[in-house]
Amino acid sequence: MDDGRAELLSCPFCSFSDSDAYFLTQHVELCHPENGHSPFIAEQQEGSSEAVEGEEGAREYIDCPRGCGEIVLGADLPSHLNLHAAEDIAFEDEEAEVKQFEEMPAEYEDDFDRAPGHSDEEDSLRLHKGLSKVRHRQGGNGKHGFHESTSLSTVQGGKAKRLGRAELGPHAHEKQMPSWLRKMLENGASVIRTNRINRNGLLERHETVENETAGVVPVLIQLCQQDKSVQRAFFCSEKVRHVFKMRMEGGFCGYRNIQMLISHVQDAKKPGHEHFPGKLPTILRLQDLIEQAWDMGFNSSGRVETGGIRGTRKYIGTPEVNNPNNSQFVDLLSDIMQAQALFQSLGIRCEANGFHETKQLRAYDAVLMNVAEYFRQGISLEGSDKVLRTDLPPIYLQHPGHSLTIIGFEVREDGSANLLVFDPMFRTSPAIEKLIGTTVRPSTNPARLMRAYRRGTSYLRKFKAFEMLKLSPMDEPANK
């Protein structure tokens, strides 16, 4: 008889038991690790660069209390929890969700709104002046238009040192990921098969992958059109899928962003799509492709800096922010550099740029200006005067500790601006899923539904360095 109590799960190695499967998994990895080393315990190695302690544990890694399996920096926990709330939005409990946002404790307030003590007028004026310069530039091509933008190129050889937890995450010294995780990644996300009636009234078989959502961009276009706070918006090609993490997979954001760029290459039949037949390549396959790129001489120092990534949970890397003016900023290992190496090794044209803070311009202002110029040079498709659709590829954006895929840009009525993004850390919200393939009702609250897809200055201003990777919008392949 079911008495309402959860079944206790037993550790296969000792007498420990718990009803929470995830907590039991953590116990096994901590107390009975494979190869005698627990990935939850950091071991400093000679010559490695470790995270710097500071500001009340801001650089400490913390398990997400929502149980999503993500390990985040303490400083990023409020943003992380807030986005969990945003991704849970659904129509049937709208009033309850709004109340939840209104009653959220101060430490979890919307991290994307203006920060207390920060001047709205100052940000708006600075950005407005910057965007005006972009608007009136003559002959700009969006590649090297800003002095704070550094063109990054894949390096071959050179001086390289072993990186540590600061760059590679909490599993920086792990030799192999746990067998349960490897099996999960090998199997991939579940494929859901349903029957749908098409426009001709015929029944057709439809397949969706559990952690991929197509058709989100058209929904966001409609929401921006209805949002009265938006003055102007630009969107990339609709042919891109929101790819997000599977539960408990950990810090694979970089690979999920690569998958989003590949989804555009596949769906838009861009040069190089023949390298990706069928489903998106798995994380394990992407690791193989990056190591293959190293073998070919593309950013070959990456192997030295990481100690190899095949079969591990190491982050591909994050930008250096302690001294962004240091020349090492250009050469430092990062997700972007490894993604660039992967695409270049397959003959897919792309360009990487780094942005750091200067006396004249903050790093996030430079990013906003560069993204604005990128979308303005795209070929205009159907769209209104307010919302412009283009056929441009999405952009891979890296900042310290996390990476996103930029799918649009908007200027608000108050002169501020937002990046519109797909965040691989969070699933597509149920409310957005319900709107895919439909016409959005005017009564819908667009600002609320767009919450999880906007990143404004209050989010971006926390970082002093960024890197971006842009696939070429041209159709000709690169010369190998």
Residue 101: is its pLDDT beyond 60?
no
Q: Tell me how far apart the alpha carbons of residues 36 and 28 are, in angstroms, rounded to a whole number.
A: 12
Q: Residues near 192 by Cβ (< 8 Å), separated by ≥ 6?
A: 207, 208, 209, 210
Angle formed at CA 265 by CA 261 and CA 271, multiple of 5 degrees: 130
282-289's contacts with Cβ under 8 Å and 24+ in sequence apart are: 282/185, 282/186, 282/188, 283/185, 283/249, 283/252, 283/255, 284/182, 284/185, 284/186, 284/311, 286/255, 286/258, 286/259, 286/342, 287/255, 287/311, 287/312, 289/342, 289/345, 289/346
Considering the domain boundaries, does residue 24 fall inside one?
no
Q: What is the tens place of the pLDDT at every residue in 157-179?
A: 446 677 777 777 778 888 899 99
Q: For residue 460, what pLDDT band results from cuts at 50, 70 and 90?
A: very high
Count of residues in the chain: 480
Does some domain include residue 197?
Answer: yes
Separation in Å, CA 276 to CA 188, 280, 342, 413: 16, 7, 13, 41
> Which range of residues forms the domain containing residue 449?
179-322+330-471
Sign, CA dihedral 123-128-129-134, equals: positive
pLDDT-derived band of residue 18, with 50, 70 and 90 as boundaries? Answer: low
The answer to the question of residue 32 being in a domain is no
For residue 380, the 8-state DSSP code is: B
**Spatial separation of the C-alpha atoms in residues 337 and 468, rounded to whole Å:** 10
- Residue 235 to residues 145, 192, 266, 270, Cα–Cα distance (Å): 21, 28, 18, 18
Instruction: Judge contact between 461 and 362, C-beta under 8 A.
Output: yes
Position 103 scores a pLDDT of 38
* CA–CA dist 383, 396 (Å, integer): 24
Q: What is the mean pLDDT of the chain?
A: 75
The whole-number pLDDT of residue 237 equals: 95
Helix, strand, or coil (residue 469): strand
**What is the number of structural domains in the chain?**
1
Taking residues 299-310, report their average pLDDT: 86
**Residue range 111-153, pLDDT digits in tens:** 444 433 444 445 444 455 545 444 433 333 333 333 356 666 5
Helical H runs in 137-282? 165-168, 179-187, 216-226, 253-267
- What b/e sequence results for 355-366 when a residue is b if at least 16 CB atoms lie within 10 Å of its CB, and e otherwise? bbbeeebbbbbb
Residue 154 located in a structural domain:
no
Q: Tokens for 153?
A: 């190129």
In a domain, 226, yes or no: yes
Report residue 226's pLDDT band, with 50, 70 and 90 as the boundaries.
Answer: very high
- Which of 74-83, 258-267, 303-312 shows the highest mean pLDDT? 258-267
The pLDDT score that the predictor gives to residue 222 is 95
- pLDDT of residue 385 exceeding 50, the answer is yes
Poorest-pLDDT segment among 17-26, 63-72, 210-219, 232-241: 17-26
Residues 387-409 pLDDT 10s: 999 999 999 999 888 899 999 99
Region 254-274: mean pLDDT is: 96
Q: Give bridge partners of residue 213 from the DSSP assignment.
A: 242
Is residue 189 in a domain?
Answer: yes
> Picking from 258-262, 305-309, 339-343, which range would have the lowest pLDDT averaged per residue?
305-309
Whether residue 401 lies inside any domain: the answer is yes
CATH of the domain at 353: 3.90.70.130
Amino acid at 256: R
Cα 212 from Cα 201, distance rounded (Å): 26
- The sign of the dihedral angle between the CA atoms of 238, 229, 125, 82 is negative
| Residue 260 forms part of a structural domain | yes
What is the spatial distance between Cα 217 and Cα 203, in angstroms, rounded to a whole number?
A: 25
CB count within 10 Å of CB 271 equals: 18
User: pLDDT band at 416, cuts 50/70/90?
Assistant: very high
